[in-house]
Amino acid sequence: MPDNGSSQYIVFFVFIAGLLMGLFQYRQMNSEAGFKQLFGEGFKIYVVVAFFMVIYSWIFYKYNPQILEEAIKFNEELIIKQGNKTMPEIEENTQKLRQIFIPMMLAFNTIKYLLMGTLVTVVASGFLGKKQFQPG
């Protein structure tokens, strides 16, 4: 499956569904849990899942070097179109891209999953953690 495209939405959906399912189950087992407890549980879930997704991403990029080659080719074409770099500068840029590609993609994926997990957990914990209003 490609690293981006429509297949990534399936991964996002599964990530969010798993996080919500974990929060719903925690709420059922702890009916008095408020926002703080729910967020803490959601945090544990999405940090572990994000860790595994980063490991998966590392393996994915390591064993699919054609993705790096496509990115390099695309980058070189953009630089050539700009017309302000010499061939040695383009080659130097290509070597730098080779060195930073996997760390850059891992950082991007880590941030993406942590931000998505935080957003989903805050919203779900806010809804699930509301105390029932009981008139005085």
Domain ranges of the chain: 6-128
* pLDDT of the residue at 17: 94
The amino acid present at 87, given as its one-letter code, is M
- Asked whether the beta carbons of 116 and 17 are under 8 A apart, the reply is no
What local confidence, expressed as pLDDT, does residue 3 receive? 56
Give the pLDDT score at 4: 60
| Phi-psi label, residue 123: left if phi above 0, alpha if psi -120 to 50, beta otherwise | alpha
Position 83 scores a pLDDT of 80
Tokens representing 44 are 């544990």
Q: Closest Cα to residue 101, out of 131, 134, 71? A: 71
How much is the pLDDT for 23?
A: 92
pLDDT at 95: 92
Low-confidence ranges of the chain (pLDDT < 50): 1, 132-136
Q: Give the per-residue pLDDT at 131.
A: 61
Least Cα distance to 101 among 70, 136, 128, 127 occurs for: 70
Instruction: Say what the pTM is.
Output: 0.77
- Helix axis angle, 35-62 to 87-128, nearest 10°: 150
